[in-house]
Amino acid sequence: MTIQLLDAEGRRHQHAEYDPLVDDLDAGAVREMYRDMVLTRAFDAQATSLQRQGELGLWPPSLGQEGAQVGSAHALRPKDFVFPSYREHGVAQVRGMELPKLLALFRGTRHGGWDPHEHNFHLYSIVIGSHTLHAVGYAMGVQRDGDVGTGDQDRDRAVVTYFGDGATSQGDVNEALVFAASNNAPVVFFVQNNQWAISVPAATQSPVPLATRGTGFGIPSVRVDGNDVLACYAVARQALERARSGGGPTFIEAVTYRLGAHTTSDDPSRYREREEEERWAGKDPIARLRAYLESEHLADEEFFGAVEQEADELATATRDRCRELVAGPTVEMFDNVYQAPHPLVAAERADFLAYEESFTDGGDA
C-alpha cells in the first residue's frame, strides 16, 4: 500500500493512521512547504542553466522530487542530522542552507562548500550509497551518547539519510541496513524512488516494491507517494519520532519521478518515452499543493506572486554567486580530515605544501 493524503488533483484524502500527524499543521506551515518547493525548483533550474553555459562542470537536477524532499525535511528537528546523497537540494533549503553554497562542489572550487555542523546537513556524497554507512555510524554515536529515548525533546535526536532507488542495489546500503537493524540505531532510510537509476528502470532492479527490502532486514518499512508533500511529512515524522524515542530504524520508499536528466551529462530521451514523462508531469508535487491551497482558501494570489518574486530573486542571486566562486588553496583538503590534529595528516600536508612550492619561481622542479 502506498500512503497518500493529497492526490494528483490536490484533493485531501483521509487516513486514520497518518491524519493525526498532519492535523497540527496550520496554514502557514503548509504555505512554507509550498514556498520551499518553489524556491528549490527555481534554484535547481538556474543551476542546470549555469551548467549548460559552462559555469558548472556537472549538475544533478532535482526536478519533480521536491515533494519528497521538502515534506520529509519539514519533519526534522534542528538537532537531527542529515546525510544527503547529491540531489537533496530541497532538504538543504528546508535546513536553512544558502543554496548557492551547493554550487562550489560542482564548479570545482571546493571539495565540499559548507560546514556540515552549521545546519546539521552533511556534505554531498558522490559515491553512490557510501554515506548510508556514515549515517548509521553517526546514529550509533548518538545512541551511545544517550541522546535517544530520554523523553527530553531538547535532547533526543535522530539521523536521516537520503538516497535513490539505484543505491539500494549497492553493498554499502545493505551493510548499513544490517548495522542499523542489529544496533536498533536511530536512523531513517529515505529512498527517493525516481524510477530510473540513470538508465536502468526500477523494475529491473526489483520486481517488488523497494520498501520490502527494509522489511527483509527486520526494519519497519513504508511506501509513500513521493509527490505528496503532506504524506511525506507524515511518514517521516512518524519514523523520526520512533527513532528519537528509541524505537530504532525505519525504511521509507517515496515513489516519485525524476522529470529531468540524471545529471546534465545524461540524455533521458535515449531510454524513456515522452508519454511516461508527461504522465508523471501530471503528478507534479508543486501544482498538487497549490491546488490544495487554493481549494481550501489557505493562500491567495498575493502569496503566490510573492513566492514567484522570491524565486526570481534567488535565481539572480544564484547566477551572481556562482560566477563569484573561486578556488581556495588546495592544501585546505587536509584541514577537516579528523576532528583533532593527526600527525600523519600533518606530515602529508607538509609534503604537499613542499611539492606545490617546488613549482614556484626558483624551485627545483
CA distance 143 to 157: 9
The answer to whether residue 292 is catalytic is no
The answer to whether residue 271 is catalytic is yes
Please identify which of the residues 110, 131, 262, 288 carries the catalytic annotation: 262
Interhelix angle 27-52/285-295, rounded to 10 degrees, is 150
The answer to whether residue 162 is catalytic is no
CA distance 316 to 84: 26
CA distance 94 to 52: 26
Please identify which of the residues 74, 89, 122, 258 carries the catalytic annotation: 258
Which cell goes with 153? 525533546
- For the chain, the farthest-separated pair of C-alpha atoms sits apart, in whole angstroms, at 76
Give the contacts of 33 (CB within 8 A, at least 6 positions apart): 70, 71, 74, 229, 230, 233, 289
Please identify which of the residues 11, 271, 323, 355 carries the catalytic annotation: 271
Catalytic residues: 258, 262, 271
